[in-house]
A and B are shown apart, each in its own frame.
Chain A
Amino acid sequence: MRRRQDAKWCAVGRGPHSLRQVLHTALRTVRQVIGAPDYARYLEHHAACHPGRAPLTEREFYVQFLGWRYAGTAGRCC
């Protein structure tokens, strides 16, 4: 899935995958399914969309991430 060059909003595309990256992707997939924080993705997004501002440290990001994850009324089902 590739992004056109004239995309109007800021986001990050994914390049082609090498075989070596497959294991990395697999672990990342498990983390995404269980809802673990993805610091690497945050850094990519931050570098692409907010250049010039210092990103959060990994620890700060984790604590904030949990705040976002557990705010609000979505929750889990029974």
Chain B
Amino acid sequence: MLAANMRSLLSRLLWVLVAALGAVGFAVLAIARGEHVSAAWMLIAGVASYVVGYRFYARFLALKVFALDNRRATPAERLSNGRDYVPTNRWVLYGHHFAAIAGAGPLVGPILAAQFGYLPGTLWLIAGVVLGGAVQDFTILVCSLRRDGKSLGQMAKEEVNSVAGMAAAVAILAIMIILLAVLALIVVNALKSSPWGLFTIACTIPIAMLMGWWMKSVRPGHVLEASVFGIVMLLAALVGGGWISRHPTLGPAFTWSGPALAWALILYGFAASVLPVWLLLSPRDYLSTFLKVGTVTILALAILVLLPPLRMPALTQFTDGTGPVFAGKVFPFAFITIACGAVSGFHALVASGTTPKMIMREGHAPMIGYGGMLMESFVGVMAMIAAATLQPGVYFAMNTPAGVLGTTVQSAAQVVSQWGFAVDPAQLTQLAHDVGEATLLSRVGGAPTLAVGMAQILHGVFGGNGMGLWYHFALMFEALFILTTVDAGTRVGRFMLQEIGQHLWKPFGRTSWYPSVVFSSGLIVAGWGYFLYQGVVDPLGGINSLWPLFGIANQLLAAVALCVGTTIIVKMGKARHAWVTLVPLAWLAVVTLTAGWQKVFAADPRLGFLSQARSLAGSTAPDAARRIFNANLDAGLCLFFMAIVVVVIFASAREWWLVLSKRKEATVHEAPFVETAYATGD
């Protein structure tokens, strides 16, 4: 009895210490002025918050809100079929789920948000995930788990109403297109005028095809050995890229412009989505999973070893909305720029995808759903560290569009220094030379910035004189798994389109009918390809207008997911706990609708799409008409997203009112309770 009390007391004491440590971390981050804060404090604040959130809040959600029941057989157990419904060990499933949700999002968003200083982005990453993102992922995972793995769209239709279901389906498709365009744009911006990068990435195509042939015909299903071969060849291509870039003929041959790369990506995306899966998509997918996990692990280890100082200030003057990386004040745009890593609606799709079909026990859901998202937030924090360890002048020189900086290191250094971030033209030239690029100016899109940050950190740990190799290593890792998301995403988009289209014309929905496949793939690729091209030729750099659009769309999907979650919680009779999803829903609705409104109607042409169109109205520049059209299109898309989320919120609120006022029966469409056959105690 005494021992148990002692244990309980010690446990409480431990948690108080953890919370205090986290608080100290936040205080140091917020209060430090002038001197450089060590990255260690950011890690401490983050990790302390995550563990406290997991131990207390996730447990509250599991026990009180959803009443997870370990005696209840999960669909993996009841419908076990050896292929998708397979009870899986929770650690394995954690890795699988994390690999599915992790991508470029947490790596790019924080880098862009660093223009406000490291503090706003970091606070949103940590508070947003504990109270919003992880809650969303967990909620949708549990809801799908209890419905035999139904998707978000299906749950929206069944638990809310068919209007919400249709709105969700259309929103998901639209978001997918913007997402693919933005990711492709990041790759184009990273690879343009970079023969080393382009050669390495181009090699991944034949390497993947070789792997695909091996895994299908020579040694069926032997993924690990094919992946080892793939990784070795990839590293060889990485080294070879350096040689190619210095070659007098081959170097220029691999130096492509933005528009040329955009076309190449468009053609590639189309081809990859219509070719058989075993040939290109699947081997790329396996390879990129290794690389994703590898990049994250290497970055984490390097940061933990080096604990570099943060050179970016906590807050910069650009919180007032005059920032060069993207327009908009810190509220609401810091919360839009960082989506994956804080709250991401797209995760709700993954959380209602393959993962719920593999959960062995309901009690594993907090670790997988909540915990998986915490890990992604941690990746975001590391990306923020990587950006903040750069000299601020270098950061701004790399992330400001050429339209503002000019094209020479002299003009760039002058512009950046005028903002108060001292940088020397020789420094910029030297850094570019060190990493093996012709220039680092205006390499917008986050990936090159992360690569430079990583290269500096890794070089700081491992030494050597191969900064170029580290830089291209980091760049290749990121570009590779981004590209895989593009081709896999095109294929997913094609399925979605066929699913929606079959309501209009039945044969369209036949997923193996070749004409339908080609046509719908073509439509999807044309969709994202259009926005990609628009972004590539945009003098403001494309990321400037597309990333906020993506962020708004993503957060709106999160709002939709939280609406579905709230509806289910209300219907379960737990309306007094509905605040767990209502609070993040309210916050997201306010933030994204404000941001959307500003993007459409703001008077500043840098910020508002319609103002941008108006300011170009009298222009005689040759591309003015196209730019006006694109600005109006972006405005229309933004309004469309806003309309969708308003529709879903109203449809859901109606359901809540009907159920709470007893006008409607609170029927929950869960799968029936069946007792598990597993012995308890795991």
Q: Which residues of A contact B (CB under 8 A)?
A: 1-4, 6-11, 27, 29-37, 39, 41-42, 44-46, 49, 57-59, 61-63, 65-78
* B358 CB, min distance to chain A CBs, angstroms: 9
A63 with B216, Cβ < 8 A, contacts A3-B678, A42-B83 known = yes
Q: Is the CB of A32 within 8 A of B100?
A: no
Q: Is the CB of B220 within 8 A of A62?
A: yes
With both beta carbons as reference points, the residue of chain A lying nearest to B73 in the complex is identified as A9
Q: Is the CB of A62 within 8 A of B215?
A: yes
Q: Is the CB of B496 within 8 A of A73?
A: yes
Q: Is the CB of B223 within 8 A of A36?
A: yes
Q: Is the CB of B492 within 8 A of A73?
A: yes
Q: Is the CB of A36 within 8 A of B82?
A: no
Option from B215, B224, B499 in Cβ contact (under 8 Å) with A73: B499
B residues less than 8 Å from A62 (CB atoms): 215-216, 220-221, 278
Q: Is the CB of A75 within 8 A of B350?
A: yes
A10 with B80, Cβ < 8 A, contacts A70-B277, A72-B353 known = yes
Q: Is the CB of A74 within 8 A of B353?
A: yes
Complex Cα gap A44–B119 (Å)? 53
The yes or no answer to B77 lying at the interface (CB within 8 A) is yes
B residues less than 8 Å from A61 (CB atoms): 220-221
With both beta carbons as reference points, the residue of chain A lying nearest to B481 in the complex is identified as A76
With both beta carbons as reference points, the residue of chain A lying nearest to B348 in the complex is identified as A77
With both beta carbons as reference points, the residue of chain B lying nearest to A32 in the complex is identified as B92
A77 with B347, Cβ < 8 A, contacts A62-B278, A68-B84 known = yes
* Chain B residues with a Cβ closer than 8 Å to the other chain, count: 69
The yes or no answer to B340 lying at the interface (CB within 8 A) is yes
Option from A2, A9, A36, A44 in Cβ contact (under 8 Å) with B679: A2
With both beta carbons as reference points, the residue of chain B lying nearest to A25 in the complex is identified as B89
* A11 CB, min distance to chain B CBs, angstroms: 4
Q: Is the CB of A73 within 8 A of B349?
A: yes
With both beta carbons as reference points, the residue of chain A lying nearest to B223 in the complex is identified as A36
The yes or no answer to B112 lying at the interface (CB within 8 A) is no
Flag B274-293 by CB within 8 Å of A: 1 or 0 each.
Answer: 00011001100110011000
Q: Which of B102-110, B454-462, B656-664 contacts A (4 or more CB under 8 A)?
A: B102-110
The yes or no answer to B545 lying at the interface (CB within 8 A) is no
Flag B229-268 by CB within 8 Å of A: 1 or 0 each.
Answer: 0000000000000000000000000000000000000000
B residues less than 8 Å from A7 (CB atoms): 677
Complex Cα gap A62–B677 (Å)? 30
Q: Is the CB of A75 within 8 A of B353?
A: yes
